[in-house]
């Protein structure tokens, strides 16, 4: 996993545009988001920030870093928990006020085609991390420098981080973001993603309590 250096200051990013977008989910939940685009992000990718609710109502807005997952977010793939996490996060952030950063990091940073190649290897018995390694790719290639820049541009130097992944908190802290609390998401378990979630717990210490659900 990539861990950025703590000493050099982050180059400043700025908000490029803001637009109101009404969101409607398949289960009927609706909410309005203010979608931000940015200039000057370190990796040059077209990341988005969705502001939900009223972040100014709290000193530490609730924030989720959500990595793009076309298969889960758009097509409803049950091989991962990304789609349900996205749906949950939007509502929880809207209720308290905060930001959802939608990061263009498909497949933990390896890209869509490579992710699908990794799926084929998982079908032969490898877990999600072993499959990436077998392809000569990093287990997790994500760098959250751009996310820290986005939070600075949104005037959110201290946040409550909605995440089960300790690496996100570690990277943001190293980049100068204050994490006042790490708030876990729910456990979105299905027969198709059990091996995937177990690998997250065993390999990268994600805070997912699977025992009550599979015991």
**Residues noted as catalytic:** 140, 142
**How far is Cα of residue 61 from the mean position of the Cα atoms in its chain?**
16
- Read off the DSSP letter of residue 100: E
The residues, ordered by sequence, that sit 6+ positions from 63 with a Cβ below 8 Å of its Cβ are: 93, 98, 99, 100, 101, 151, 156, 159, 160, 161, 162
Kindly list the strands in the beta sheet with 14-24, ordered across the sheet, starting from the edge strand earlier in the chain.
14-24, 30-39, 48-52, 98-103, 62-67, 158-162, 178-183
Q: How many Cβ atoms sit within 10 Å of the Cβ of residue 148?
A: 24
């Amino acid at each position: 996993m990539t861990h950025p250096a703590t000493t050099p200051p982050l180059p400043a990013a700025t908000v490029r545009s803001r637009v109101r977008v009404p969101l409607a989910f398949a289960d009927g939940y609706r909410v309005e988001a203010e979608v931000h685009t940015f200039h000057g992000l370190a990796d040059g990718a077209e990341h988005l920030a969705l502001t939900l609710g009223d972040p100014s109502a709290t000193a530490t807005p609730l924030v989720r870093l959500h990595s793009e997952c076309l298969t889960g977010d758009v097509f409803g793939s049950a091989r991962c928990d990304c789609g349900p996490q996205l749906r949950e996060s939007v509502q929880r952030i809207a209720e308290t006020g905060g930001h959802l950063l939608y990061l263009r990091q498909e497949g933990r940073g390896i890209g869509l085609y490579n992710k699908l190649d990794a799926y084929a290897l998982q079908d032969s018995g490898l877990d999600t991390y072993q499959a990436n390694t077998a392809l000569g790719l990093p287990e997790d290639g994500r760098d959250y420098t751009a996310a820290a820049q986005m939070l600075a541009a949104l005037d959110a130097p201290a946040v409550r981080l909605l995440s089960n992944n300790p690496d996100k908190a570690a990277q943001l802290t190293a980049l100068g973001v204050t994490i006042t609390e790490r708030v876990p998401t729910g456990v979105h378990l299905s027969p198709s993603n059990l091996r995937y979630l177990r690998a997250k717990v065993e390999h990268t210490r994600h805070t997912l309590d699977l025992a009550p659900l599979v015991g």
